[in-house]
Amino acid sequence: MSWSCVSACLLALSAAEPPETVPAAETEPHAVGEIVILGRRGAARDVTLGAGEITQATSPSSRSVERDLLDAVGAGRLADALELTSGVSQQNNRGGFLDNFAIRGFLGTPDGGAEYYVDGFLANRGLAPPRDPATAERVEILKGPAGALFGDIDPAGRVNIVSKTPQFVRGGHVAATVGSFGLRRGEIDVTGPLSDTLAARLVIADERSDGWRDHVDLHRRAVAPSLTWRPTDALRLTYVGEFTVFDAPFDRGVPAVNGDALAIPRSRFFGEPGDGVTRFRNERHQLTGEYELSPDWRLTAGFAYRTGDMHGFSSDQSRLVGRQLWRQRRERDYAVEDVSGRLELDGRLGAHHLNVGIKGYTLDYSEFLLRRNPTADAPHAISIDAPVYGGQALPLLPFTDNRETRRVATLYAQDLWQVSERLSLLAGVRVDDYRQTVRNNRTGAVGRGEGSPVDYRLGARYQLTDALTAHASFGRSFLLNSGTGRTGQGFAPEKGEGWELGLSGRWPGVDLAVALFDIEKQNILANDPVDASFLAPVGQLTSRGVEFDGSFEVSAAWRVVVNYAWTDAKADDTAFASDAVLNVPEHSGGAFAVGTFDRWSLTVGASYMGDRAGALDGSGLILPSYWKAKAAVEYAVTPKIDLRLEVDNLLDEHYAQSSYSPVWIFPGAPRTVRASVKARL
């Protein structure tokens, strides 16, 4: 998007005269047994972008983290938002170019990461850069079989990021932030009516940092325009666009030394500054619409187009020999084009809430990778004690040149039956018809897969008292895997099934939920035990555990959010040297408190992550447990100008955030201070 276009949008928004004042959305209440809203909902829910009414009504273990709470905790990345809910752990970040996490012990591929959604469409199929927080209105963490999203089922859970969209009330802000390690960030968010029926919004963010890792600076930009057209009370169309550029050196972190994941200073960089930056570009266009057929029935539809590419060089750790780290030089050139669409009919027929939809997507994903492995004669080595940069590797050689295409169509239906005032039953089914082709352009080999699997979910909810509800759900899932393994063959689809039992309670100012779950999946991709440069499917992975989430309005001023998870995740495959699951702790949790007073507010909190497996190669590497605290204070200088000071990793804990192997451990950031000023328009 050109800056002249951006300027024109800003001018139009600032010049437009608003129609009759429309009151801002009030805090949206929720009943016992429904999704719990963390924070105060500042924008009305758009059913075309997030979890539908059936999921909202039957998934009390799910959470919706609202914009005000994201701001209060200083969420600068997706991981910060996920700390507010139970059972989520961070995974390999692919050199700093990936948002990656596990829910209830289940992760996506170590390279591609866990799938997540933006506005109800998968946003990182193939690949996608880290999300910028400026564009998000809320983050939905949808847990268990009940947490379905437009017919998609996962017994563990899914994440959906709902974008900021236009409001028919003029508003917005500009903000500037400076901080540790040369951080400079600017942000603009402006919205308002262009006419009685048309509203617009524009979000722009630009961030630069020298980085807390040596020689690892960062520059990311995001521009997100959107339009909402409301010609009648029955019809609404919304366009959301997003243009992202993410530049940084590819950074694999540090190696473990003698089994110690924290032996190396966390700032030490073992790549080559001369390799330059890797650039990730992502572009998304989405159009959704809602048409009210009658008071009981509505039709929704959506179309999304996304394209992205990543290119750059890197020198990645390969093995530790004495005090020398041998390195493998790589060149990456990846590209993706993803086109998706859906049509859904939702309505009520007596005691039944019915939902029927059809959706589909096409994917074109190319992976081109050149690499040169180190040898004793040409190790491309660097000292772990005193790195000296400028080493030269031998010329790169062909390694991966794959093109994957998919054509997938899905039909789904679900019925929420209100049997009585206290009892409701849920049944849902989906049929996928897929064609997948992976072509190895180096060898000419072609792998093909096709099928029409049928999956389903069942659920029940019983209101024990006015404040207490019990729920149960069961579901089966199916997911296509990307890429090829060590032998050049593609992978069979991932399959899973699991159940959840839970109890939720809601009293004035209090929301509590406890859930027990047991999930089993096959063909989940993990590091190949023979060669960690490749992926391999795990025969079976099981995870069972208990989760607790609570939110409390302690007083008119104080809100508290707490969570805890016990997760017992194990792999069952004799080809792997360990039954551990990478980066998944047995114990995790957190507590955050937000106090809001006359002209100022205070946020304090901490998250805990227990011991985790740092490798699957039989080395027994453990990433030690840690606590990470944060605090922030905000002061309203005038009714329209706020000052904020925040500190992340308040106690300067030295910890390992995640790991891929014993030589690819990504350390957590040290104490980081940020100061910002925000002016509301």
- Which tens digits make up the pLDDT trace of 480-509? 888 777 777 778 888 999 999 999 999 999
| DSSP line for 620-654 | --EEPPEEEEEEEEEEEEETTEEEEEEEESTT---
Catalogue the E-assigned strands of 483-599.
494-507, 510-522, 524-527, 535-538, 541-553, 558-571, 587-596
CA atoms within 13 A on the CB side of 186: 4
Distance CA 120, CA 239 (A): 13
The residues with which 319 forms a beta bridge, in sequence order, are 326
Quickly state the pLDDT bin for 27 (edges 50, 70, 90): very low
Predicted TM-score (pTM) of this structure:
0.93
pLDDT over 70 (residue 453): yes
The per-residue pLDDT for range 533-547, each reduced to its tens digit, is 677 888 889 999 999
pLDDT over 60 (residue 444): yes
Q: Which two structure tokens, joined as six digits, stand for 29?
A: 């209440």
The per-residue pLDDT for range 212-221, each reduced to its tens digit, is 999 999 999 9
Quickly state the pLDDT bin for 2 (edges 50, 70, 90): very low
Mean per-residue pLDDT, 630-656: 97
Helix (H), strand (E) at residue 458: strand 454-463
Within 10 A of 141 (CB to CB), how many other CB atoms are there?
A: 27
Higher pLDDT, 322 or 537: 322
What pLDDT is attached to residue 22? 38
The per-residue pLDDT for range 237-277, each reduced to its tens digit, is 999 999 999 999 999 999 999 999 999 999 999 999 999 99
Q: What is the mean pLDDT of the chain?
A: 91
Tell me the torsion sign for CA atoms 369, 370, 375, 380: negative
Considering only CA atoms, give the Rg of the chain.
24
pLDDT over 50 (residue 364): yes
Distance CA 117, CA 423 (A): 31
- Window from 122-126, 267-271, 383-387 with minimum mean pLDDT: 122-126
DSSP classification of residue 477: E
Q: Which two structure tokens, joined as six digits, stand for 626?
A: 């840690």
What pLDDT is attached to residue 29? 52
Mean per-residue pLDDT, 548-561: 94
3-state secondary structure of 12: helix
The residues with which 517 forms a beta bridge, in sequence order, are 500, 545
What pLDDT is attached to residue 31? 55
What pLDDT is attached to residue 390? 94
Are residues 62 and 142 in contact, defined by beta-carbon separation less than 8 angstroms? yes
Total length of the chain = 681
pLDDT over 90 (residue 630): yes
Q: What percentage of the chain carries pLDDT values higher than 90? A: 78
Distance CA 481, CA 286 (A): 25
What pLDDT is attached to residue 554? 92
Distance CA 309, CA 371 (A): 19
The per-residue pLDDT for range 48-86, each reduced to its tens digit, is 999 888 888 888 889 999 999 999 999 989 999 999 999
Higher pLDDT, 28 or 180: 180
3-state secondary structure of 8: helix
Domain boundaries, the chain: 3-19+32-680
What pLDDT is attached to residue 33? 53
Residue 489, φ and ψ in degrees, nearest 5: -90, 150
3-19+32-680 is classed CATH 1.10.1060.10:
no
Within 10 A of 505 (CB to CB), how many other CB atoms are there?
A: 18
Mean per-residue pLDDT, 517-527: 88
What pLDDT is attached to residue 674? 98
